[in-house]
Amino acid sequence: MTVKAGVLVAGSCNVDLVVRGRTLPRPGETVLGQAFFEAFGGKGANQAVAARRAGARVELVACLGTDAYGARYAAALRREGVGLRGIRQVRAVPTGVALIVVDGAGRNQIAVAPGANHHLRPRDLVRVRPLFARARVLLVQLEVPLATVQAALRLARQAGVITILDPAPAPARPLPRRLLRLVDLVTPNEHEAELLTGIAVRDLRGARAAGARLCEQGCGAAIITLGARGALHCWRHGARHVPPVRVRTIDSTAAGDAFNGALAAGLAAGRSLEESLHEAACAGALATTRLGAQPSLPHLDAIQRLARRRSLRPPRPRR
Ligand code: RIB
């Protein structure tokens, strides 16, 4: 019998080049920033590191370049304890890079040059098929080719693995139903939910309608993240609000990745969806209190400390 444990992530690796300044540039505008730093990022690797720091055993399926970034990236993932059996270095192709600007309010603008991420193919997943049999949860995002995302979901479904799709970055058009039917939990933000459903998500009522539509389209459930308003867990005929966690935000980069990684880690550890969502909300909030993508991802002890403090507080009245 195969012992199921852990989180499998199929997705991207980027090196983030970050400028922190007061304001974000508008089209055609140059703004002077205050500081520059480099950090490891990419939604796939961020979620793998987030799940690992949240206590899960993690394997990442991803492509790196054969440049200096690729070698440094693989070493960093190894130090984190992320399994690298699914990593392939693509010859003569650069590692993915993201140019990020963060403003004084912690908002960001991100442009990605995918590089090696575009070389992640369905056959890369078939090559590591035994990893699917050993996983409890699969996490995928949209920074690698859609055919690869769909192949990962299909292999996971065949292996009885819980599937989570973070539809980020926002897709240019609604996703095919045959893909959504392979998704147990879809975790869009407001903007992504709107693009996927055509329903305006400006308040909890809009989020609920978009969540219900995603379930009609084939997803098991939708968790719509709403920034300062928390998140909404929606199923076909109902919804539950996950209250926001108030913190002092300095950089929102990778908050969604922290959320998804902690959610997957909680489910992989056998915790309930409600408890895993509570921890995921804490992880997402904590990630906004530090600069950078992977440098900001919280560890399990910090997540659970905050989660305990929150559950001791009386609930705030709903507006
Ligand atoms: O979600 C944040 C990530 O988006 C960054 O690390 C950047 O690399 C882009 O992929």
Q: Domains in the chain, ordered, with CATH? A: 7-11+43-91+121-310 (3.40.1190.20)
Residue 166: exposed, middle, or buried by beta-carbon count in 10 A (0-12, 13-18, 19+)?
buried
Q: Are 10 and 137 in contact (CB under 8 A)?
A: no
Integer-rounded Cα Rg, in Å, for the chain is: 18
254 CA distance to ligand 1 centroid (A)?
Answer: 6
257 CA distance to ligand 1 centroid (A)?
Answer: 8
The pLDDT profile of the chain, 319 residues, written as one tens digit per residue, is 555 569 999 999 999 999 999 999 999 999 999 999 999 999 999 999 999 999 999 999 999 999 999 999 999 999 999 999 999 999 999 999 999 999 999 999 999 999 999 999 999 999 999 999 999 999 999 999 999 999 999 999 999 999 999 999 998 888 999 999 999 999 999 999 999 999 999 999 999 999 999 999 999 999 999 998 999 999 988 999 999 999 999 999 999 999 999 999 999 999 999 999 999 999 999 999 999 999 999 999 999 999 999 876 655 554 4
* Ligand 1 proximity of 110 Cβ (cutoff 6 Å): yes
* Ligand 1 proximity of 254 Cβ (cutoff 6 Å): yes
Q: Is 166 a catalytic residue?
A: no
* Ligand 1 proximity of 230 Cβ (cutoff 6 Å): no
Which amino acid, 283?
A
Q: How many CB atoms lie within 10 A of CB 213?
A: 19
* Ligand 1 proximity of 253 Cβ (cutoff 6 Å): yes
Tokens 């991207």 belong to residue: 12
Question: How far is 111 from 107, CA to CA, in rounded Å?
Answer: 14
107 CA distance to ligand 1 centroid (A)?
Answer: 13
Q: Are 255 and 288 in contact (CB under 8 A)?
A: yes
Q: Which pTM value belongs to this model?
A: 0.95
What number does the ligand 1 atom closest to the CA of 41 have? 6
What number does the ligand 1 atom closest to the CA of 256 have? 1
